[in-house]
């Protein structure tokens, strides 16, 4: 799915959203990893993302993390945020197709937030492809919306608030030009 130079009204897209899926590393995190002396990994996340995710929950929009990583930090953060989490995923698009199908949601009613080339296939398949500010250039070209915040620095919350603001009665109209 490639978007021309048409201008899209996010409000129209947001009205049909029923699921927002997120990559983890580079979206919830700043894409950096700390290696502790015992070999364990630690990452840095933006605390304000939790409030944004609560806003989506109040709107009745499902959320999920889909990660190629099989790392305890991913599942720990998902538990803290009360988010479903699919880990060790080789094919994110296939995993998202199955997950959304199990919920009875068409991919056209799904937004996906990604940051790197392993997110390309899934971005091509959803109704609202989103790239974080510091995403790989190939993702930025495919995205319908690019966040102003970088991954791990408020990008998740920005996406949640964008959707919330566009769905509020009398909400803002956000135009994006891919």
Q: What local confidence, expressed as pLDDT, does residue 83 receive?
A: 96
Q: What local confidence, expressed as pLDDT, does residue 111 receive?
A: 97
What's the pLDDT tens digit per position in 64-97? Answer: 999 999 989 999 999 999 999 999 999 999 999 9
Query: What's the CATH class of domain 8-93+107-138+153-176?
Result: alpha beta
Residue 60 clears pLDDT 90, i.e. is over it: yes
pLDDT confidence bin for 173, thresholds 50/70/90: low
Helices (H), the chain: 10-15, 49-58, 72-81, 92-102, 120-125, 137-142, 155-167
Residues 6+ away with beta carbon under 8 Å from 70: 87, 88
Q: What local confidence, expressed as pLDDT, does residue 167 receive?
A: 80
pTM score, whole prediction: 0.89
What is the C-alpha to C-alpha distance for residues 19 and 160, in angstroms, rounded to an integer? 11
């Amino acid at each position: 799915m490639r978007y021309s130079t048409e201008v899209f009204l996010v409000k129209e897209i947001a009205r049909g959203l029923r699921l927002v899926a997120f990559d983890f590393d580079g979206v919830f995190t700043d894409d950096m990893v700390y290696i502790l002396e015992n070999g364990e990994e630690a990452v840095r996340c933006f605390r304000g993302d939790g409030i944004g995710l609560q806003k989506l929950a109040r709107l009745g929009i499902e959320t999920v993390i889909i990660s190629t990583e099989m790392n305890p930090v991913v599942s720990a953060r998902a538990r803290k945020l009360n988010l479903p989490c699919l880990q060790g995923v080789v094919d994110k698009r296939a995993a998202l197709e199955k997950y959304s199908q199990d919920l009875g949601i068409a991919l056209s009613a799904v937004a996906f937030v990604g940051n790197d080339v392993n997110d390309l296939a899934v971005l091509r398949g959803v109704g609202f492809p989103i790239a974080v500010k510091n995403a790989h250039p190939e993702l930025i070209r495919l995205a319908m919306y690019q966040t102003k915040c970088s991954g791990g620095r408020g990008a998740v919350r920005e996406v949640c608030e964008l959707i919330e603001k566009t769905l509020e009665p009398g909400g803002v109209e956000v135009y994006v030009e891919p």
